[in-house]
Amino acid sequence: MAGLTPGGFVTDLCRECDCERHADAKNLHEDHFMSVCFGDLLEKAARVYGDDPAVTSGGRTKLWREVYERCRNLAAGLEQLGLERGDRVAYLGFNSDALFECYFAPSLAGLEAVVLNFRWSARECAAALRECTPKAIIFDEAHGELARQAVAEAGQSPHMIQAGASAHASAIPYEELATRIGTPSIRGSSDDDTLIIYFTGGTTGRSKGVMLSHWNLFANAMGAPHIMGNERNSAQLVVGPMFHLAPGSRIFSAVLMNIHSVIMPRFDLPEMMAVIERHRVHSLTLVPTMMHMILTHPDFGRYDLSSVGQITLGGSPTPRDLLEKVIAAFPSAKLNNGYGMTEMSPMLAALTAEYHVLEGPKAGKLNSVGRPVPYLDIRIFDADDRELPQGEIGEIVARGPTVMKGYLNRPDENAVALRGAWFHTGDMGYFDKDGLLYISGRSKDMIISGGENVYPSEIEDVISTHPAVSQVAVIGVPSDKWGEVVHAVVMLTDGAEVSADELVAHCRKNLAGYKCPRGITFRHEPMPLSPANKVLKSELRKQILAMTQIT
């Protein structure tokens, strides 16, 4: 996808023509006039903003110059361990200043960072490790055992590096590498080199590594913060898990805008409100479920949250009644919602503050995901990749500088997803007469529960391994708290018996907690089928909703 990068626009143009008009542009690009390197951007932040706070986590605040020095040391330390250009460094653990550093440090030595989901089981982690084959894995104290189990199951032997106060006897202390003065001897990565890999669920249920380049994340970091209302020299709260790009992308923006990232290891309501008050946080990124929990917490009124000037509510549409409460509670804040995905680095469209109103001509658009970001071209295609007119529903496709390099080790899936120079999102939608984008459905019946993407086929695969299960279908059902929750419809083999609790326990051994069913219905009659003999999940969902109440 190099041709879709900002630099690619110049180089592609110049490759087509050797005329004098384009010669200067070609030479400028080749002299790195258009080069992008987050290592250089981090060095600039250290030089220009050196004594400003870069990151606060665990009661520690590090300045930009300290972060750069530690990242340079860590990169040199990884090189001394034998890692070479193109090797990968995985991170498994809660949000922390160490993870903040690991977003940048590997690239200073030409390495690629990989962020693993700490909610995964050892089985799921091992599958990701087999996919990305890291030469080193950094983990925190809470996930040492998970890391060791996953490495053993994957049959690998990476360098084991533990972040935290005290390292396990079998692990290299992270602090030893981050504080041992050194400079990597090789040139860092840049431009279209892979900067970081995030794992995202695939529509087949298999987690896929999404390769994102310096250009991808630079383009998003240059555009998205201004659209969403982030301010330079301010503080942002990072509370969503940084193995997701929605919160993670804020880290890359922070380097460009001198934003102080206040990182929480996980969502803790009273502590979060105290942190906002203590650090005068300006920007929040939350899913609507989290905002609802804040507003209904009994201690909400005890804290001074007047510093909050920008709130992004992502993951699902904002209900009108929640909007009313947010406007009343944060009268000075600009509200927005975003539509994004990891493959797009991640922003595609934004419903900005002008539409988060209760009255006037722009009210009533809360079900929209807003306008495409200016640096992307978004269209609606039919099944034959022909553009559809305004108002007609089809697949949302996009092209531009933030389109991923591709899925790691998935050439066939890349060929499908990136065909015709467009990224095919798998989401169905349409544009209204005002140019706003609406999502009308999700391919492959994906479930969004509390902001997490959940793919039914992955859960079905696990449940079907239980000896008592003959057939299973997984659907999403509405939840006031989570947006949707996972519900399984199970048919048992003749004469077999198993309880719902036993099936859930079976899932918990193999799946992250948020993927496990919140409800199970045992079915005795055949599943409703389409003419192609596929389970009609839409019909199954109607039947379940008629007899089930889940919150």
What's the whole-number mean pLDDT along residues 174-182? 95
Residue 16 has pLDDT above 80, yes or no: no
Lowest pLDDT segment from 11-15, 169-173, 202-206:
11-15
The chain-wide mean pLDDT, for the chain, equals: 88
Least confident of 142-151, 213-222, 537-546: 537-546
Which of 11-15, 303-307, 523-527 is least confident? 11-15
Among positive and negative, which fits the CA dihedral 130, 124, 245, 478?
A: positive
**Residue 549 pLDDT:** 57
- Name the helix (H) or strand (E) containing 67: helix 64-80
Asked whether 407 and 384 are in contact (CB, 8 A), the reply is no
Instruction: Indicate if the pLDDT at residue 140 is higher than 60.
Output: yes
Identify the band that residue 530 occupies on the pLDDT scale cut at 50, 70 and 90: low
Rg (CA), the chain: 24
Residues paired with residue 285 on neighbouring β-strands, in sequence order: 312
Q: Is 340 helix (H, G, I), strand (E, B) or coil?
A: strand
> Which pLDDT does position 167 carry in this prediction?
67
Average confidence (pLDDT) over 234-246: 95
Query: Do residues 75 and 106 touch, judged by C-beta distance below 8 A?
Result: yes
pTM (two decimals):
0.82
The distance of Cα 63 from the centroid of its chain, to the nearest Å, equals 26
Can you state the percent helix, strand and coil of the chain, rounding each to 5? 35, 25, 40
Give the Cα separation of 19 and 115 in Å (integer). Answer: 45
Stretch 345-371: mean pLDDT: 93
Q: Is the pLDDT of residue 490 over 60?
A: yes
Using left for φ > 0, alpha for ψ between -120 and 50, and beta otherwise, residue 406 falls in: left
Compute the distance between CA of residue 404 and CA of residue 150 in angstroms, rounded to an integer: 27
Q: What is the mean pLDDT of residues 538-548?
A: 84
**Residues near 43 by Cβ (< 8 Å), separated by ≥ 6?**
68
What integer pLDDT is reported at residue 288 of this predicted model?
83
Which whole-number Å values give the CA distances from 16 to 32, 191, 424, 512, in the listed order? Answer: 20, 21, 27, 50
Strand 483-492 versus strand 519-522 pairing type: parallel
332: number of CA atoms within 13 Å, CB side? 7
Q: Is residue 442 very low, low, confident or very high in pLDDT (cuts 50, 70, 90)? A: low
What integer is the mean pLDDT of 68-74?
A: 98
Residue among 94, 24, 97 at smallest CA distance from 60: 97
> 237: closest CA among 271, 256, 260, 268?
260
- pLDDT, tens digit (0-9, with 9 covering 90-100), for 93-115: 999 999 999 999 999 999 999 99
The arithmetic mean of pLDDT across residues 428-443, rounded, is 86
With 70 as the cut, is the pLDDT of residue 179 above it? yes
What is the dihedral angle through the alpha carbons of 278, 115, 170, 183, rounded to the nearest 10 degrees? -80
Distance between first and last Cα of the chain: 43
- What Å distances lie between residue 283 and 214, 260, 271, 300, CA to CA? 24, 10, 16, 18
pLDDT grade, residue 450 (50/70/90)? confident
Q: How far apart are CA 168 and CA 142, in angstroms?
A: 11
| Domains of the chain listed by start with CATH number | 1-34 (no CATH), 38-431 (3.40.50.12780), 448-547 (3.30.300.30)
Residue 343 carries which side chain, given as an amino acid letter?
E
